[in-house]
Each structure stands twice: as structure tokens, then as C-alpha cells.
């Protein structure tokens, strides 16, 4: 895997031409595998003998993974993404009340109002910048960060630092010293945030998690609380940030599709689903581990292997999405559903919120600036230094074309 990231699609196509499952070499010369094909990935994600808990990670348990491994947090953080069975169900139950359809719908007025306010700021920044503004920094980032911050009860003063740390945790080009320092600082910030909420509880998710007990009277332990907050903050804004950014890029480079939506021939929800399929916000997500040797699409994945879920590859798998899988088409209809929000027991709990935020963002953005366009050729946009996150680091646009 290329730790510097870049656009994954050409490499994905080459790998898919060889099969739905492939061996990969992770940073630090750690051997792993990736599941890329849509059908194989769907089966893999829901397989009862595939675990998330790192006690099934053979090389880690054998002491072969060095301290400060850049991908270490994905394996060892304590929370829903690394829990199985009863532990996973317990943690998910404690979180689920914040992400019900009703609770998300109650957030709609706040999301709409925040979106409108950010568009005002975007216009002011464009004026200062001579007509050009970074839409990612001024709009696609503060919207999901603001919403998840309010939902959790994280003071706005922490938002910029939490995003900076999150972006380095999902980067794959960090060295051991930086990876260790970033994870330590993230924990320190979250411990301080949790302590503030414990001292002064409010109507927010952190306060609720601190107080919550499940039906057996269990509460989140300190490490589980911090791990859950880390997961929720990173997943709650990084993925939606990439989704909005990728959707705007796609529409600006496919003006016929944008015109179709503006004319009422397709919906903003259609744009969101096609973006999730065509340019998934997450390219390869770490990790899952077979608890016994398993075969997918004719390839054996040995027990204890760290496996990447190849969402961006699966989204353009021609065997699932047809020979034109590489074409951005908002009228596709999604008869074959994408897997970009997961599948099975670990399906993304925040999916309804991500969809709400993205539809609101795109609808208001292009209603206000229908001729918005990229300020530089797409090929010159700087890519994220990550094979986990899939997007660009900046999105300079002209609001009026």
C-alpha cells in the first residue's frame, strides 16, 4: 500500500483485474490482505468468523508490530470498531439513542441553519480571496465538525485541534514518533473534554455516555469512553467531510449531471448515493481478522491476517455495477447498493446523519451558487496522504464560475 495515498482508482482497477482478494504490504512491512470485489466484500463484512478485536491479530499478539505503528490506533483503540459480539452490542446500544432516525431528524433545523451560516462565511472568504475560496476548509469541514461537536458536547474551541489530530490519525504516511505523539495528544484532549462534561453535564452525548448504563447495569469504562469518543469524532466528521468534498468535485467535473439535478431530473440524495459508490470517502478501512482460515472468491485469507476493507474498489467493481461502473451517473438508481457505509453488524451508525448533512450541504450550496466551479484543474488538486481516507486536501473554487 502506498502510504502517501493519492487517487486510488487506477490502482484499484489493476488489482480488481487480478481478483476480488489480494495480498498487500502495509506500512512497516506488515503483511496483510485486502478485499476489493463488491460480492466478496459484502460476504466478508458479514461473515461470522471475521472479527474486529485485535486479540485475533496474529502478528500483533506475537509481538511483531513495532511501537508507534502508523495504523496502530485502528487496531488497538477500545470502542465499537474493535469490539465483537456482546461487547459490540453493548457499546452500540449505549450509542444508538443519539443516532436514531427520530433524533437525526430533530437535528435537521440545526443542520440547515448551520449550512446557511457557513455559506455566508464562504461568500465572505471568497471576496477576501479575490473570488477563490477553499470549499473544503470553509464549508465541507466545519459543517460535520460543528454538528458532531454539538451532538457530543465538545466546545467549539476544541474543534480545530480535534480535526488536525483526526486527520493525522487517518493519514498513513506518519512515522512512529509522530503517530505516538498524535494519539497521545488526542487522548489528552478527549480526557479533558470528558472531564468537563462530567463536571458540568448537559444535554449532549458525552454526558449521556458517562451516565448511561445498559440493561445489565454496565457502564462504559474509562478507556472505552475515550475510544468511543475518538471513533465518533473521527468517523463523525472525516467521512462526511470527504463525502461533501468528493460530491462537489464530481458535480463540477460532470456539469451534465449537475444540470440534471438543478433541473429536477435527479435528487441531491441521488448525488450523495452515487458519490458514495463512485468515489467513496473511505478507500481502505483497517482492520478485520479471520478467526480461522477463510476463502473468498477462491482466495484463502489465513487466520489472524489484518484485512483492509476496500470500499473505493468495490464501488467501481464492474461485476457488481456494470461495465460503466467508472462513470458518475446520478440516475443509476442503485439497484445494486454500494457498501461505502459498511454492511452487517458494524454498518455505520452515523449513516442517516451523514446523508442528512450532505444533502443539506449540496442543496443549499448549489441553490445559492449554481455556477460554482473548480478554480484549478482537478488533476492539480492535492490528494490526502492516506490510503484510508479518499479525497483531496483542498478544494479551491470560484463561487460564480
**What integer best gives the mean pLDDT of the chain?**
93
pLDDT-based confidence at 11, cuts 50/70/90? very high
Mean pLDDT for the stretch of residues 325-342: 88
What three-state secondary structure class fits 265?
coil
* Amino acid 24: pLDDT: 96
On the question of pLDDT at 225 being above 90, the answer is no
The pLDDT value given to residue 39: 97
Q: What is the mean pLDDT of residues 83-103?
A: 85
Residue pair 61/55 in contact (Cβ under 8 Å)? The answer is yes
Is the Cα torsion angle 125, 383, 358, 151 positive or negative in sign? negative
- Amino acid 37: pLDDT: 98
Confidence of residue 248 (pLDDT cuts 50, 70, 90): very high
Instruction: Please determine, for residue 215, whether its predicted confidence score (pLDDT) is greater than 60.
Output: no
Grade residue 261 by pLDDT with cuts at 50, 70 and 90: very high
Cα–Cα distance measured from residue 277 to residue 272, given in angstroms and rounded to the nearest whole number: 9
- List, for residues 38-80, the tens digit of each pLDDT value: 999 999 999 999 999 999 999 999 999 988 899 999 999 888 8
> CA dist 298 to 15, 21, 307, Å?
15, 9, 16
pLDDT-based confidence at residue 335 (cuts at 50, 70, 90): low
Could you give the percent of the chain with pLDDT greater than 90? 75
HSE of 131 in the Cβ direction (CA atoms, 13 Å)?
9
- How sure is the predictor about 97, in pLDDT bands with cuts at 50, 70 and 90? confident
Q: Which tens digits make up the pLDDT trace of 164-180? A: 999 999 999 988 899 89
pLDDT in tens, 15-39: 999 999 999 999 999 999 999 999 9
| 218 band by pLDDT with thresholds 50, 70 and 90 | low
Mean of pLDDT values over 367-392:
96
Lowest mean pLDDT among 103-107, 164-168, 188-192, 328-332: 103-107
Q: What is the pTM of this model?
A: 0.95
How far apart (Å, rounded) are the C-alpha atoms in residues 283 and 4? 13
Task: Calculate the CA 73 to chain-centre distance.
Answer: 15
- Residue 336 contacts residue 87 (beta carbons within 8 Å): no
pLDDT tens digit sequence for 128-168? 989 999 999 999 999 999 999 988 899 899 999 999 999 99
CA dihedral (190, 394, 118, 353) positive or negative: negative
- pLDDT above 90 for 96: no
- Compute the average pLDDT of residues 189-213: 87
Give the rounded percent of residues in the chain with a pLDDT score beyond 70.
98
313 confidence band (pLDDT: 50, 70, 90): very high
Least confident piece of the model among 243-247, 322-326, 334-338? 334-338
pLDDT at 93 exceeding the cut of 60: yes
Amino acid at each position: 500500500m502506498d502510504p502517501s495515498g493519492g487517487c486510488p482508482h487506477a490502482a484499484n482497477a489493476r488489482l480488481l483485474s487480478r481478483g476480488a482478494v489480494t495480498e498487500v504490504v502495509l506500512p512497516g512491512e506488515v503483511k496483510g490482505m485486502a478485499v476489493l470485489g463488491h460480492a466478496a466484500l459484502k460476504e466478508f463484512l458479514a461473515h461470522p468468523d471475521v472479527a474486529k478485536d485485535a486479540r485475533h491479530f496474529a502478528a500483533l499478539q506475537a509481538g511483531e508490530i513495532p511501537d508507534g505503528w502508523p495504523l496502530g490506533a485502528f487496531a488497538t483503540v477500545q470502542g465499537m470498531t474493535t469490539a465483537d459480539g456482546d461487547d459490540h452490542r453493548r457499546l452500540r446500544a449505549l450509542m444508538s439513542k443519539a443516532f436514531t432516525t427520530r433524533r437525526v431528524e430533530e437535528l435537521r433545523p440545526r443542520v440547515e441553519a448551520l449550512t446557511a451560516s457557513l455559506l455566508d462565511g464562504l461568500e465572505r472568504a471568497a471576496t477576501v480571496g479575490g473570488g477563490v475560496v477553499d470549499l473544503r476548509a470553509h464549508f465541507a469541514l466545519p459543517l460535520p465538525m460543528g454538528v458532531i461537536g454539538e451532538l457530543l458536547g465538545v466546545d467549539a474551541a476544541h474543534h480545530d485541534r480535534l480535526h488536525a489530530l483526526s486527520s493525522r490519525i487517518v493519514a498513513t504516511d506518519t512515522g512512529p514518533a509522530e503517530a505516538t505523539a498524535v494519539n497521545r495528544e488526542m487522548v489528552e484532549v478527549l480526557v479533558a473534554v470528558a472531564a468537563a462534561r462530567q463536571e458540568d453535564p448537559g444535554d449532549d452525548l458525552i454526558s449521556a455516555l458517562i451516565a448511561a448504563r445498559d440493561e445489565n447495569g454496565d457502564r462504559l469504562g474509562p478507556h472505552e469512553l475515550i475510544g468511543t469518543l475518538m471513533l465518533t469524532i473521527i468517523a463523525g466528521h472525516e467521512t462526511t467531510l470527504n463525502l461533501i468534498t468528493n460530491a462537489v468535485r464530481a458535480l463540477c467535473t460532470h456539469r451534465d449531471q449537475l444540470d440534471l439535478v438543478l433541473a429536477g431530473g435527479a435528487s441531491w440524495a441521488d448525488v450523495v448515493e452515487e458519490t458514495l459508490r463512485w468515489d467513496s470517502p473511505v478507500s481502505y478501512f483497517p482492520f478485520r481478522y479471520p478467526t480461522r482460515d477463510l476463502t473468498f472468491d477462491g482466495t484463502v485469507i489465513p487466520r489472524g491476517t489484518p484485512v483492509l476493507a476496500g470500499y473505493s474498489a468495490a464501488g467501481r467493481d464492474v461485476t457488481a455495477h456494470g461495465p460503466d461502473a467508472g462513470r458518475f451517473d446520478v440516475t443509476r438508481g442503485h439497484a445494486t447498493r454500494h457498501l461505502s457505509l459498511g454492511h452487517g453488524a458494524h454498518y455505520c451508525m452515523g449513516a442517516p446523519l451523514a446523508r442528512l448533512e450532505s444533502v443539506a450541504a449540496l442543496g443549499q450550496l448549489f441553490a445559492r451558487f449554481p455556477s460554482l466551479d473548480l478554480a484549478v484543474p482537478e488533476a492539480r488538486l492535492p490528494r490526502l496522504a492516506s490510503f484510508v481516507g479518499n479525497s483531496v486536501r483542498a478544494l479551491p473554487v470560484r463561487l460564480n464560475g
